[in-house]
Amino acid sequence: MATYSDKSFNSQHYDDSRPNYPDQFYQELMKYHTQKGDTELAVDIGCGTGFVTFKLTKYFHKVIGSDPSSTMIQQCTENFPPELLQNSNKKIEFLIGTGEHHPEEIKANSVDLITGAECCHWVDHDKFFKESARVLKPNGTLAYWFYKDPVFIGYPRANEIYTNYTYNSSFDANPNDDFERYMGPYYQQPGHDFLRTLMKEIEVPTSDFYDIVRKEYISDRDGAPDENEDGFVTKTPLFIKKTIDMKWFLDYVKSWSAYHAWQAEHGGKYNVAERFVDELKLELGWDDDTKINVIWDTVYTFARKK
């Protein structure tokens, strides 16, 4: 997205203010992949600041992270974990590229695993599936996943306010207002709508892929997760829960593309992220240090190339 390619975009702030993925999910991914796939080369598209790319080096001999943003690629190359710098057996590389057009260094039928974390709702899906099928080896895995919106557990009013700021338009309630006060209209479409529906409209083409697995977790529908004695979440391996405060949440909102787009147009009036957080604190009686449990609805899709 254009916002994340802006030279002024703070990619380290983006990384610090986002939720991460549990180890049990990577274990589930590798359990699926290694049934038929090799572990020579993995490609992580939309790699952002590289936290998935770096994680994959645990499982693959070589990993390539690609992103359309040179700002993100620079962040990746500057933040190599020390253990990877010291381990000459692990090869990792970051290149400019997209899910629809891999860098020329990635050849046809050469890739064992393609991953896309929190990015595949933004791609042109027809081109994405065709390009993935082109570079994957037979029986190679395509895996993509993302989380939706945080759900404030036990605070329905907070969830209403969240929906207003992220999906709605203030003109619906005040059509004669002098400017848009919510961020909903500032998201790129149709990607934001795909996020809201967990991309249920998009099907992996069976002409190129088989053994397709799609697993969604919706907290309102599926309830709280169950854990066994080892702590494994049985409802979904892609379970993300966090105890936050409003300081963390403010940073989270400031990592959104819509926040940056809104500020570019209206920032002289006030900071919309701060206004958002102030409304939550006023309505719920929270302060900056109040601890709140949030949970994210998630979805993941695995598929093998024919």
Say how far apart CA 179 and CA 130 lie, in whole Å: 42
What is the CB neighbour count within 10 angstroms for residue 82?
A: 7
CA atoms within 13 A on the CB side of 4: 24
What is the per-residue pLDDT for 76?
84
- CA 101 – CA 103 distance, rounded (Å): 7
Closest CA to 295 of 114, 151, 122, 137: 151
Q: Cβ(216)–Cβ(297) under 8 Å?
A: yes
Predicted local confidence at residue 238, as pLDDT: 94
CA angle 159, 165, 171 (to 5 degrees): 125
| Structure tokens belonging to residue 90 | 């692990």
- Taking the C-alpha atoms of residue 76 and residue 303, their distance in angstroms, rounded to an integer, is 27
Structure tokens at 246: 């409003």
pLDDT, residue 186, reads 97
Q: What is the DSSP letter of 225?
A: P
Q: Is 175 exposed, middle or buried (0-12, 13-18, 19+ CB in 10 A)?
A: exposed
What is the Rg, in whole angstroms, of the alpha carbon atoms belonging to the chain? 20
| Four-point Cα dihedral 252, 82, 90, 114, nearest 10 | 0
**Between β-strands 91-96 and 111-117, what pairing exists: parallel, antiparallel or unpaired?**
unpaired
Which domains are seen in the chain, by residue range?
Answer: 3-305 (3.40.50.150)
- H-type alpha helices, 219-288: 219-222, 246-254, 257-266, 272-284
Q: pTM of the predicted model, to two decimals?
A: 0.88
Beta strand spans in 16-90 (E): 41-45, 62-67
**Residue 149 to residue 262: CA distance in whole angstroms:** 19
Altogether, the residues listed in the chain come to a count of: 306
Helix, strand or coil for residue 253?
helix
**pLDDT value at position 235?**
83
Cβ contact 68:124 at 8 Å: no
pLDDT value of residue 71:
87
Report the candidate in 289, 292, 281 with the shortest Cα–Cα distance to residue 161: 281
**Tokens 């610090």 identify what position?**
16
Contact 297, 151 (CB under 8 A): yes
Per-residue pLDDT 10s for the chain (306 aa) are 444 444 444 444 444 557 889 999 999 999 999 999 999 999 999 998 898 999 999 999 999 999 998 888 888 877 766 666 555 556 899 999 999 999 999 999 999 999 999 999 999 999 999 999 999 999 999 999 999 999 999 999 999 999 999 999 999 999 999 999 999 999 999 999 999 999 999 999 999 999 999 999 999 898 876 665 555 556 899 999 999 999 999 999 998 999 999 999 999 999 999 999 999 999 999 999 999 999 999 999 999 999
